[in-house]
Chain A
Amino acid sequence: GAVVSQHPSRVICKSGTSVKIECRSLDFQATTMFWYRQFPKQSLMLMATSNEGSKATYEQGVEKDKFLINHASLTLSTLTVTSAHPEDSSFYICSAQRRGTANYGYTFGSGTRLTVV
């Protein structure tokens, strides 16, 4: 149990276009979903925390208008990179916390490698 599906796994887009990444909890309801960014050979950087039905909480330095997060249901959160530029190229990972499990690990998606050309 506790599977998180992240789609797409890999995407290449042209500079100036927008890309949407989906994070879906398949067999549980996710109270909270998190979006991370990981640069090559570096740790995960938390971008934002999203709770179902409310606005995402962004970390300092993360542009809200550039990284749009929507958490419309208890099983789906989306991250849209708007007007992507080459510096947005990175590995994006989502994670979800199962509803009712305050003290346990999060389940991560398999990640999305975004390349902006």
Chain B
Amino acid sequence: AQKITQTQPGMFVQEKEAVTLDCTYDTSDPSYGLFWYKQPSSGEMIFLIYQGSYDQQNATEGRYSLNFQKARKSANLVISASQLGDSAMYFCAMREVSTGGFKTIFGAGTRLFVKA
């Protein structure tokens, strides 16, 4: 079964508008962490934002915010005021306890296109 699901393979957004990238997850571990990463065409992975399963408030980092709905097991990324440089692949990831420590698994990704 898919542990991390990103249902949007591709998204378009107009420059300066906000966009929400969906992510749902599945785990039986009460303690877990959720991450969003950006991967530009150059290939490097850039950490954007983190949400812990026990965090009471939604995480925010500049133009990025994470809409964490624990009961629904969703952790959507909201990018406000989109910029052309936001065009990239975005990955949702979950870290959970595994044999020997932690393991992080990634969703399939969503490719975001920002239009001028």
Q: Which residues of A contact B (CB under 8 A)?
A: 32, 34, 42-46, 49, 51, 57, 91, 93, 95, 103-111, 113
Contacts and interface: CB of A to CB of B under 8 A. Distances in A.
A104 B109 contact: no
Contact of B44 (A45, A51, A106, A110): A110
11 contacts: A42-B108, A44-B45, A45-B106, A46-B105, A57-B100, A95-B45, A103-B33, A106-B35, A106-B104, A110-B44, A111-B43
Chain A contact residues: helix, strand, loop or mixed? strand
Q: Which of A43, A108, A109, A111 has the most CB of B within 10 A?
A: A43
B44 A108 contact: yes
Given A44-B91, A103-B50, A103-B52, A108 B45 contact: yes
Given A32-B101, A51-B101, A43 B50 contact: no
A106 B47 contact: yes
Is the interface on chain B under 10, 10 to 19, 20 to 34, or 35 or more residues?
Answer: 20 to 34
B47 A107 contact: yes
Contacts of A34: 104
Contacts of A57: 99-101
B103 A49 contact: yes
A103 B95 CA distance: 10
Interface in B79-116: 91, 99-109
Given A49-B101, A105-B35, A105-B50, A43 B44 contact: no
B106 A43 contact: yes
The 9 A-B residue pairs with the shortest CB-CB distance in the complex, in nearest-first order: A105-B47, A108-B45, A110-B44, A111-B43, A57-B100, A44-B106, A43-B106, A43-B108, A43-B109
